[in-house]
Amino acid sequence: MHKKDTDIFTIFILCTAMLIWASSFIALKVAIEDMGPMSVIFGRMIIASLCFVFFIKKFTKIQFRKKDIKYILLMALFEPCLYFIFESYAIINTTAGQAGMITSVMPLLTAIGAGIILKEVISKQLIFGSILAILGGIWLSINAISTQSAPNPMWGNFLEFLAMICGAGYTIAIRHLSSNFSALFLTAMQSFIGALFFLPFALYEYNTSNYEISMQALPSILYLGIVVTLGGYGLFNYALSRTHASTAAAYVNLIPVFAVILAYFFLNEKLSTIQLYASLVILTGVVITQMPTGLKTRLVQSQYVANFLRRRKDKHKK
């Protein structure tokens, strides 16, 4: 499908995906209180994989190229594998709301990566707004206060930042793969590979820890496996087939807002006055990244397209 400017339907899909992803911080925080993080993630992956069992026969008919396999493995390595390792331990050390706020750095990372690898145009306002959001995230982390549920928020926020680097790599890989594979197939591959990857970690954790499989954590794991993995990733992967990677990644900036609101209502998490100011800086950066581009940026984009067409024309002449 030809990638185009984001339409209303794609915006709705992306906003819904972001709301679902924001809720994953809450569900993960609840589940990890009773079970080990690797066991929770493995449970999430195996439940998601079971949802795709009925499609395996259909998937066997899909033809692969060598470079497709490389990108699929790279996609899965970034997310869920490395991404969930960083995020699960981030949630142990910081609050769900603060972890959600750190996600604001992902659009900048994705835009830079998409500009270098996919040759997508990076606007100055996206860079400026994202840098402002990053500074707000640093300010938020510096002023974070340790609590029983968030013993080391600065370390946790740093781990969430590493997760965002993985998320940016995942977005770029998906953007490349979405032109040849459906969102359903790509989401299934994430689940299958993730289940295999986290199995040894979960077995080791279960045999070396004192926890038991908790019936209180089970609803959260089911939610993470079915709603977040199947629904959230499925919607995001589908949206990436309809728009540009940097555009889709910009909607990640909605996660901090959703995460703080959900954490307030479901986990009774609160931010200090200084942290509220830091969050305001983050959201200001978000608004800047989403403002319509000016005439200068449109001219730069037009020049970029003209140069690209000229190079193609010269290449054909040769």
Q: How confident is the model at residue 317 (pLDDT cuts 50, 70, 90)?
A: low
29 domain residue, yes or no: yes
Q: For residue 238, name the pLDDT band (cuts at 50, 70, 90).
A: confident
Host domain of residue 92: 8-317
Residue 78 scores a pLDDT above 50: yes
- pLDDT over 70 (residue 174): yes
* Number of domains composing the chain: 1
How does residue 23 score in pLDDT terms, banded at 50, 70 and 90?
very high
For residue 7, the model assigns a pLDDT of 78
Residue 256 φ/ψ, nearest 5 degrees? -55, -40
Q: Which residue has the higher pLDDT, 105 or 120?
A: 105
Amino acid at 75: M
pLDDT > 50? residue 295: no
Confidence of residue 314 (pLDDT cuts 50, 70, 90): low
For 30-39, 79-88, 168-177, 271-280, which range has the lowest pLDDT when averaged over its residues? 271-280
Short-list 144, 120, 134, 117, CA closest to 269: 144
CB count in 10 Å sphere of residue 115: 17
In a domain, 2, yes or no: no
| pLDDT at site 290 | 62
In angstroms, how far is the first alpha carbon of the chain from the final one? 29
189 in any annotated domain: yes
Q: Classify residue 1: in a domain, yes or no.
A: no
Instruction: Decide which of 309 and 272 is more confident.
Output: 272
The predicted-structure confidence for 243-277, as pLDDT tens digits, reads as follows: 877 777 778 777 877 887 888 888 887 767 887 88
Cα 99 to the center of its chain, rounded Å: 12
- Stretch 141-150: mean pLDDT, rounded? 72
Weakest mean pLDDT among 84-93, 161-170, 269-278: 269-278
Q: What is the pLDDT of residue 254?
A: 78
Alpha carbons 255 and 42: distance in angstroms, whole number: 23
Enumerate residues 6+ apart whose C-beta is below 8 A from 66. none
In a domain, 138, yes or no: yes
What is the average pLDDT score of the chain? Answer: 81
Q: Which two tokens stand for residue 172?
A: 């770029």
CB 134 within 8 A of CB 108: yes
* Structural tokens at position 280: 């305001």
Instruction: Name the band, by pLDDT with cuts 50, 70 and 90, for residue 82.
Output: very high
As given in the structure block, the two tokens for residue 173 are 């890989």
Query: What is the spatial distance between Cα 241 and Cα 236, in angstroms, rounded to a whole number?
Result: 9
pLDDT digits (tens, 9 = 90+) for 28-68: 888 988 888 999 999 999 999 998 888 888 888 888 888 88
CA atoms within 13 A on the CB side of 211: 21
What's the maximum distance between 2 C-alpha atoms anywhere in the chain?
70
The pLDDT of residue 297 is 44
Q: Is the CB of residue 255 less than 8 Å from the CB of residue 21?
A: yes
Distance CA 193, CA 36 (A): 20
Closest CA to 106 of 86, 91, 94, 92: 86
pLDDT at 85: 93
Q: What is the pLDDT of residue 5?
A: 53
Has residue 305 got a pLDDT over 60? no
- Other CB atoms closer than 10 Å to residue 289's CB: what's the count? 25
As a whole number, mean pLDDT of residues 235-242 equals 85
Question: For the chain, what percent of residues have pLDDT higher than 90?
Answer: 25
Distance of CA 175 to the CA centre of its chain: 13
Residue 208: C-alpha distances to residues 92, 110, 115, 118 (Å): 18, 37, 44, 44
Tell me if 289 sits within 8 A of 250, measured CB to CB. Answer: yes
Q: Which residue has the higher pLDDT, 202 or 128?
A: 202
- Residue 130: name the closest of 114, 143, 149, 146 by CA: 114
**183 within some domain:** yes
